[in-house]
Structure 1
Amino acid sequence: MRRVTILDDYQRVALASADWSAVGARFDIDVVAEHLDTDALASRLAQSEVVVAMRERAAFPAELFEQLPELRLLVTTGMKNAAIDLDAAAAHGVTVCGTGGEGNGVAELTIGMMIALTRHFAEEDAAVRAGGWQHTIGPGLAGLTLGVLGLGRLGGPVADLANALGMRVIAWDRSITPARAERHGARIVDRDALFRESDLLTLHLPLTESSRGLVGARELAMMKPTAYLINSSRGPIVDEAALLAALRDGRLAGAALDVYDAEPLPSEHPLRTAPNTLLLPHLGYVTTDQYARFYTDAAEDIVAWADGAPVRVV
């Protein structure tokens, strides 16, 4: 029977998040709960006609398409996926479709990370479980300056929530306009001022050649030693080595990270032991409502494609 493979279902919720009955009537459904490296991925997908990829957890470069002669449909959750070589997909006769999204998970998570980092939630939770009580102290967010690097689809809602908390919001990106800044209650500053003035700096840019390494040693050196960095965007936007050095030297009060250069984060990675950090496993989009939309649309994409009328083609 024809095969659909659902990749990287870490929480084992893909089949429970949507109605797959119409897909199951035509295909065997293979669910992969663990992350597979390139060789293991090629082996697992060798007989798959359809693959559902969760965001950018699995990369699909040209060399992988060459090893998957049976593949005809690749569904990515969301409508953009930088980990898929679309030219190679087209060259190998693979249709790529996407899905819609739901909710405001990234903005909510970003604010949550700010509070958890500055108020030391992880440390205090561990202390209480060990029999202790209060031993840290941190600032409230009201009155602090939040710098938003990228005031777009994701950064805008973060600014909205920050305003509701009584923060002062400043912003910079290459395409920012006064109208957009005003809509989100932000003051436009130049790039260097964003780093100098921010008490907390949050990143919301796509990963491109121009944004890779955008936050490096120079930029981190401009930040206040009492400032915090929040990254729920993409790991390589921040120079990881420079960030580690700033944290270990006490030149930054802390960092909350949901994204990394390599994901899943390697077990021996130095960030795991870096001081004053909150580390999350790329949870920005991981909500029940988002997964329901992703997998419902993915199932619809598969049925539509099987019927000869693909929808949401990327």
Structure 2
Amino acid sequence: MKCAILDDYQNAALSMADWSTVTDRMDVKVFNHHFDNKDELVAAIIDCEIVVIMRERTPFQRELLECLPNLKLLVTTGMRNNSIDFVAAAEFGVTVCGTRGGGEGTTELTWALILGLTRKLVLENEGVRSGGWQSTIGVDLNGKRLGLLGLGHIGTNVARIGQAFGMEVMAWSQNLTAEKAEAAGVTLASSKEELLESSDIVSIHLVLGDRTRGLIDARELERMRPTAYLINTSRGPIVDREALLEALRNGQIAGAGIDVFEQLRMIRSGRCRMCLLHRILVM
């Protein structure tokens, strides 16, 4: 049997698990580069019965699946993957499964972004390395309001840590009930607008769908405080990227921590800078 691992840009897949139990029975091919061309991708994996994909980097829609007659198993990192056509996969006899995690990594990354932004860690680190000294004053989290768009498993974990910092936590989503908010010790916002207007930090923990795509656009960003920060570790398209960049350039908000992108690219414009190394978008 043949197995292909796609988009392993860090060349880490084989070191993240014990593959020795299967490598004696199958040929494992690792691709570190991304295939932009469908024909090139098909040529590379057409003989594979198993394909392991990195989240949503390579979509597996009907037109691709029908070109892979040998494919029997499609494995995705993470349980949710909007780039897979599950109906077509079932029609072609392809089993789709994913790795399950508790969201702890995303929770920790959310707080790394929050602390990195409020304490200006990237800016101050670069300043010291270039011969300077402290040029900013950090923001104390105690007593501030953390606004969560989404209170699922990850949102609840983020809320718990916010409470440990002494923050007041408010949450909103279209399906959030008062009972669930109360169980998490969180205030239920009466509306998305109330949450945006009153929060010092807004963190997004929603599933991407028709109702959430572009949920945070220019109008919503205008509602946020000029001292507020926006954190997105959910899905890139939930936030209008161009509107966010404009808000940062104009000082409408203090900064943003971004770990998800609709299309990954370096952005440098004016005072707005994306530091991909630390995955923090700062002013």
- Normalised to the residue count of structure 1, the TM-score between the two structures is 0.83
Question: Which SS does the other structure have where 1:154 is aligned?
Answer: helix
How many percent of aligned residue pairs carry the same amino acid? 49
Question: Which SS does the other structure have where 2:52 is aligned?
Answer: strand
1:279 CA drift (Å):
4.5
Question: Which SS does the other structure have where 2:14 is aligned?
Answer: coil
C-alpha separation between the residues in 1 aligned to 2:83 and 2:278? Answer: 16
Q: Which amino acid aligns with 2:31?
A: V
Q: Which amino acid aligns with 1:214?
A: L
C-alpha separation between the residues in 2 aligned to 1:31 and 1:282? Answer: 26
Which of structures 1 and 2 has the larger relative contact order (alpha carbons within 8 angstroms, sep 6+)? 1
Question: Which SS does the other structure have where 2:181 is aligned?
Answer: helix
Q: Do 1:236 and 1:261's aligned partners in 2 also have CA atoms closer than 8 Å?
A: yes
1:244 CA drift (Å):
1.2
- Normalised to the residue count of structure 2, the TM-score between the two structures is 0.92
Aligned to 1:246: 247
Structure-to-structure mapping, 1:1-314, within 5 angstroms: 2-39=1-38, 40-102=40-102, 104-189=104-189, 190-262=191-263, 265-267=264-266, 270=267, 272-273=268-269, 275=271, 279-280=275-276
Question: Which SS does the other structure have where 1:185 is aligned?
Answer: coil
State the 4+ residue runs in structure 1 displaced beyond 4 angstroms. Answer: 276-283
Equivalent pairs, count: 277
1:96 CA drift (Å):
1.1
1:42 CA drift (Å):
2.4
- Which has the larger strand fraction? 2
Structure 1 residues 102 and 180: CA distance shift in structure 2, 3 A: closer
Q: Which amino acid aligns with 2:235?
A: R
1:194 CA drift (Å):
0.5
1:235 CA drift (Å):
0.6
CA RMSD of aligned residues (A): 1.9
Give unpaired runs (5+ residues) of structure 1.
284-314
Q: Which amino acid aligns with 1:106?
A: T
Q: Which of 224-233 and 88-97 deviates more?
A: 88-97
C-alpha separation between the residues in 2 aligned to 1:143 and 1:37? Answer: 47
Aligned to 1:302: none
Q: Do 2:103 and 2:154's aligned partners in 1 also have CA atoms closer than 8 Å?
A: no
Structure 1 residues 29 and 274: CA distance shift in structure 2, 3 A: farther
Q: Do 1:9 and 1:31's aligned partners in 2 also have CA atoms closer than 8 Å?
A: yes
